[in-house]
C-alpha cells in the first residue's frame, strides 16, 4: 500500500482550436495522498475513463476501495473529467470541493478544513473557490492550478483561464507563508527551489 504522495501524470492532446490556434499537449497531474489506512485522491484529471488513476492505484498496491475522500482543487474540466469514474469506482468516498465551484454532490470544502493529512488553503482567483492543499507533516504543498511548470519554468495559469487576476496575486502571496515546503503542481513536474522561482515570478509581475 502507498505510504506517501503519489503523483499521477496524465498527458492530454488537445486539437487546434481547443486552447488556441495550435494543438496542445497538456501535462495534467492528480495525486494520491496516503493517510492512516486510506487514501485521498486530489483531482481526477481530464480523461473520463480514469484509466491513469486505475493504473496508479494498482501500481501502488491499492485499489479504489482504499480511496476514502476525493478532493477537488477547483472545477475546471481538466481536473474533474475523471470524477464520474472516481465516484462510481469508489461509491463510499466523500467528494469535497468549495461550494463556489458548484460541483454537483460535493460536500463543502472550506478554508482550514482537514482532509486526511491535508489542510485546505483557500486560494481564490484562478477560480472563485480554488483550494490549495498543504500536508504539514510532509511539508508538501499541492498548489493546484495557481502555478504550473512548463519547460522547467514556473509560470502562472494563463490569464484567460483566471477568473480574478488581482485575487490570484493576493493568493500567491498568501502561499509565501508556506515557504520551504515542496510544491507539487496540477500541471507540470516538480522543480528544485520553487520558492526562489516564485519570488522571481512575483518580482517580474
Q: For the residues of 122-146, what is the DSSP string, one character each? A: E-TTSSTT-EEEEETTTTEEEEETS
Smallest separation (angstroms) from Zn ion to the CB of 147: 11
- Specify the residue, 117 or 127, whose C-beta has the smaller distance to Zn ion: 127
Distances (CA, A) of 75 to 44, 101, 129, 173, 197: 11, 5, 8, 22, 27
Identify the CA nearest to 30 among candidates 49, 61, 4, 56.
56
- Specify the residue, 10 or 115, whose C-beta has the smaller distance to Zn ion: 10
- Specify the residue, 48 or 59, whose C-beta has the smaller distance to Zn ion: 48
The β-bridge partners of 135 are 118, 140
Positions that interact with Zn ion (CB under 5 A): 76, 78, 145
Smallest separation (angstroms) from Zn ion to the CB of 26: 8
Smallest separation (angstroms) from Zn ion to the CB of 161: 6
- Specify the residue, 78 or 135, whose C-beta has the smaller distance to Zn ion: 78
124 touches 140 (CB < 8 A): no
Smallest separation (angstroms) from Zn ion to the CB of 140: 19
**What does DSSP assign to residue 187?**
B
| Torsion sign (Cα): 119, 81, 6, 157 | negative
Query: What is the β-pairing status of strands 67-71 and 118-122?
Result: unpaired
- Specify the residue, 76 or 85, whose C-beta has the smaller distance to Zn ion: 76
Smallest separation (angstroms) from Zn ion to the CB of 163: 9
Amino acid at each position: 500500500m502507498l505510504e506517501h504522495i503519489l503523483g499521477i501524470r496524465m498527458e492530454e492532446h488537445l486539437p487546434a482550436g481547443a486552447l488556441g490556434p495550435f494543438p496542445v499537449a497538456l501535462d495534467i497531474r492528480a495525486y494520491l495522498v496516503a493517510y492512516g489506512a486510506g487514501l485521498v485522491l486530489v483531482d481526477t484529471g481530464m480523461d473520463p475513463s480514469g484509466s491513469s488513476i486505475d493504473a496508479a492505484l494498482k501500481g501502488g498496491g491499492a485499489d479504489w476501495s482504499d480511496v476514502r475522500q476525493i478532493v477537488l482543487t477547483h472545477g475546471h474540466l481538466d481536473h474533474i473529467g475523471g470524477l464520474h469514474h472516481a465516484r462510481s469506482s469508489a461509491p463510499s468516498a466523500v467528494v469535497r470541493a468549495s461550494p463556489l465551484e458548484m460541483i454537483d454532490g460535493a460536500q463543502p470544502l472550506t478554508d482550514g478544513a482537514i482532509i486526511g493529512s491535508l489542510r485546505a488553503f483557500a486560494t481564490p482567483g484562478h477560480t472563485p473557490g480554488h483550494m490549495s492543499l498543504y500536508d504539514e507533516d510532509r511539508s508538501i504543498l499541492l498548489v493546484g492550478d495557481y502555478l504550473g511548470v512548463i519547460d522547467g519554468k514556473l509560470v502562472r495559469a494563463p490569464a484567460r483561464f483566471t477568473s480574478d487576476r488581482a485575487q490570484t496575486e493576493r493568493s500567491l502571496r498568501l502561499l509565501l507563508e508556506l515557504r520551504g515546503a515542496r510544491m507539487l503542481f496540477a500541471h507540470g513536474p516538480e522543480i528544485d527551489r520553487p520558492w526562489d522561482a516564485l519570488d522571481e515570478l512575483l518580482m517580474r509581475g
